[in-house]
Chain A
Amino acid sequence: MNNIRAIALKEMKTYFASPVAYVVSVVFLTITGYFFGTGLAGPFPEATLRGFFLQGSFILVIIAPLLTMRLLAEEAKLGTLELLLTNPVRDWEVVLGKYLASLAIFAAMLALTLYYPLVLFWFGDPDIGPIITGYLGYLLLGASTLAIGLLASSFTSNQIVSAVVAFGILLALWLIQQGGTLIGEPVAGVLQYLSLPFHFTDFVFGVIDTLNVIYYLSLIMLFVFITIRSLEARRWR
């Protein structure tokens, strides 16, 4: 536990030591702010966060790779991985520590968007339920994208490659649903189930379906697990 905490704290410090965390936050807030605004516009404006949640969450496809590309790739490139892994720490502690650090940064960024609901409450009378479940879903969705990004970072010592691989996987999992509609049942159902944003929709409308929660949690566990294995495999190369 101590090792995980030490690694997570060190990673979080590193985020803020470079401009990455700040730049990514600014981009995240700008883009999500745009979707928050356009979600409110229209002939029948409603006091909801649907625009921010549904259209805005697409930004995760870009944000998650940027937040995670450094985590393991940089260690491999600098050679610091050797020193890190010859300490009495287990591989899974390293992976988990780094994952939790990226999750904390993402959670902090998401917390910065809480002024959107505040604006709604100031000027209107929004339904609080879907806002809370929406944020919960957003957190799970974001956590899943970060796990995928982390895995990509374990494959390579090049941050750009890491980001591009993560971007590719995420984009595929995001758009897979559309492909399904072209092919038709029963493939469509399977692809829809695999789709990342599909499971988010219920949250936005105020529904916490355990199926969706399990989808995200199992996705996170799967990708974190493969990352641990991928790190172990590095030793054999």
Chain B
Amino acid sequence: MIEVEGLTKYFGDFAAIEDVSFRVNKGEILGFLGPNGAGKTTTMRILTGFTPPSSGTARIAGYDIQMQSLEARRHIGYMPEICPLYTDVTVTDYLSFMGSLRGMDKKRIQKRIGDVIGLCRLEEYRDTLIGKLSKGYRQRVGVAQSVLHEPDVLILDEPTIGIDPRQVAETRSLIKNLAGAHTVFISSHILPEVSQICERVVIINEGRIAAEDRPENLSTRLRGADRIQVDVKGPTQQVAAKLRQVKGVKEVVIALPGERPRYYVDCIPGNDCRADLAKVVVNNGWELQGLQTVGMSLEEIFLRLTSEEEVPA
């Protein structure tokens, strides 16, 4: 549903994100985890067509976000960070405005407004000016507008930031219920939050993808492993199997399955197995195209992510 390949965005000389690639499958909830300033919002703005990337491509439901921008945008429901809303309109008027911008007819708008107001439990505030709502309720209006047109893809940027703990729990369960019908891509800087909601997590740090895994594997993996990225031209499964047999290797993850697979090899810390990995590849007659330790220590990121949990999970 979402295919991102080699996205890079420069602001002047500063690379906000570099070579970011990942995929989100239909009906899946993917968490986009990273410390503040890691490039989450930039990535999301590119995915929604708000900011053009410096290079790389992104496809939403098969439509290129730059070349077929309008089509792609039709399939997206987006909630920016601290959802910016018009303050001088009522909830119903606002939703109806958003609906008409998304090409919904009057009847469908009426019906869907009823649905999403129920879904986000905004019944009492239908005719309240948005400016008078509390932060938590505004956040709900943000969610409501994002699902209003029943988009295939939901992009939610830090949906639980700045609201009180009880509302955080509610928002999380609300988002969890949205999966299935929608493909959800949600960003957060809180590890436990992502583990609760998401089926798969992509970790971004300083503009680069640092890891990609299921949340239950993440915390153990993040705690102690040196990660090596290996690019090999060869039969995917066999390569992975051979790499796994190398001494000191804990696990091998295949990222970007397809034509150019990339293997992330996790080694027991302090055990530099790069030489052994290279030997295995070459001895088997495959072509070794790249071998490097992945930039920063995952442990460090993990610490930053967990120490910022402000709310009881």
Contacts and interface: CB of A to CB of B under 8 A. Distances in A.
B100 interface: yes
A88 B73 contact: yes
Given A86-B49, A86-B78, A90-B70, A78 B86 contact: yes
A88 B74 contact: yes
A75 B31 CA distance: 29
Given A88-B103, A235-B52, A83 B83 contact: yes
Interface of A is mostly: helix
Contacts of A7: 101
Given A88-B70, A235-B51, A235-B52, A2 B100 contact: yes
Interface in A97-129: none
A90 B74 CA distance: 12
Interface in A1-30: 2-3, 6-7, 10, 13-14, 17-18
A90 B103 CA distance: 13
B70 A2 contact: no
Interface in B76-128: 76, 78, 80, 82-89, 93, 97-98, 100-103
B286 interface: no
Nearest to A79: B84
Which of A82, A85, A90, A236 neighbours the largest number of chain B CB atoms within 10 Å of its CB? A82
What band does the interface of chain A fall in when counting residues whose beta carbon is under 8 Å from B?
Answer: 20 to 34
Interface in B49-86: 49-52, 70-71, 73-74, 76, 78, 80, 82-86
A78 B87 contact: yes
Interface of B is mostly: loop
B23 interface: no
Interface residues of B, number: 29
Contact of B89 (A2, A6, A17): A17
Given A80-B86, A87-B73, A6 B50 contact: no
A89 interface: yes
A68 B158 CA distance: 33
A13 B92 CA distance: 14
B50 A87 contact: no
A3 B101 CA distance: 5
Interface in A203-237: 235-236
Nearest to A90: B70
Contacts of A82: 45, 50, 80, 84
A227 B98 CA distance: 23
The 10 nearest A-B residue pairs measured at CB: A79-B84, A6-B100, A86-B48, A17-B88, A87-B101, A88-B73, A88-B74, A80-B84, A88-B70, A10-B97
Interface of B: 45, 48-52, 70-71, 73-74, 76, 78, 80, 82-89, 93, 97-98, 100-103, 145
Interface of A: 2-3, 6-7, 10, 13-14, 17-18, 78-80, 82-90, 235-236
22 contacts: A3-B101, A6-B97, A6-B101, A10-B89, A10-B97, A13-B89, A14-B86, A14-B89, A17-B88, A78-B86, A79-B80, A80-B86, A82-B45, A83-B78, A83-B80, A83-B83, A86-B73, A86-B78, A87-B102, A88-B74, A88-B102, A235-B51
